[in-house]
């Protein structure tokens, strides 16, 4: 049923909580997991030298974030692939979901920037609205 699962992560506690659900579902359905981290677009106008340094730093941070998730999946014996993209998170998630033809997206309800979610509309809301497949949103706090 869920052969391919997309797990977008920003390294937040909410994302880490969602990873527990990814593990449980992937284990049950023998799923492949696509771990995704997207970092903000770096504009060209800042100059190629500076832009390249920022992209390199962003890529290193993305690798750290995705490596944490990969270590959890490795321990569980769950196959995965890592995707690191530059651009708006919701667009990256929707793009990977479509290109990889995933069956389920599992993500946290809030990322590292709750204020940005309030001002710009949350990433999870945009994904739920436009996703080509079911989306599981994992709440960050317990009630």
**Looking at domain 4-138, what is its CATH homologous superfamily?**
HUPs (3.40.50.620)
pLDDT confidence of 48, banded at 50, 70, 90?
Answer: confident
| Per-residue pLDDT reduced to its tens digit, 97-134 | 999 999 999 999 876 554 544 444 488 889 999 999 99
Candidates 14, 71, 8; CA nearest to 39 is 8
CA pair distance 102, 96, nearest whole angstrom: 8
| pLDDT over 50 at 55, yes or no | yes
pLDDT confidence of 142, banded at 50, 70, 90?
Answer: low
Domain ranges of the chain: 4-138
| Per-residue pLDDT reduced to its tens digit, 56-102 | 999 999 999 999 999 999 999 999 999 999 999 999 999 999 999 99
| pLDDT over 80 at 139, yes or no | yes
Q: What is residue 116's predicted lDDT score, i.e. its pLDDT?
A: 47
Instruction: Decide which of 119 and 22 is more confident.
Output: 22
CA pair distance 43, 40, nearest whole angstrom: 9
Report in angstroms the alpha-carbon separations of 107 from 8, 18, 44, 56, 132.
6, 6, 30, 25, 15
Does pTM top 0.75 for this prediction? yes
């Amino acid at each position: 049923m869920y052969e391919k699962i997309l797990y977008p992560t920003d390294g937040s506690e909410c994302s880490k909580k969602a990873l527990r659900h990814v593990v449980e579902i992937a284990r049950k359905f023998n799923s492949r997991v696509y771990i995704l981290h997207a970092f903000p677009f770096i504009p060209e106008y800042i100059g190629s030298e500076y832009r390249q340094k920022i992209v390199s730093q962003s890529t290193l941070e993305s690798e750290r974030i995705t490596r944490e998730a990969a270590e959890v999946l490795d321990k569980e014996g769950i196959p995965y692939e890592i995707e690191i993209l530059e651009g708006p998170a919701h667009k990256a998630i929707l793009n990977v979901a479509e290109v990889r033809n995933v069956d389920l997206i599992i993500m946290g309800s809030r990322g590292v920037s709750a204020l940005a979610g309030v001002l710009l509309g949350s990433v999870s809301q945009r994904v739920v609205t436009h996703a080509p497949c079911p989306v599981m949103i994992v709440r960050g706090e317990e009630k």
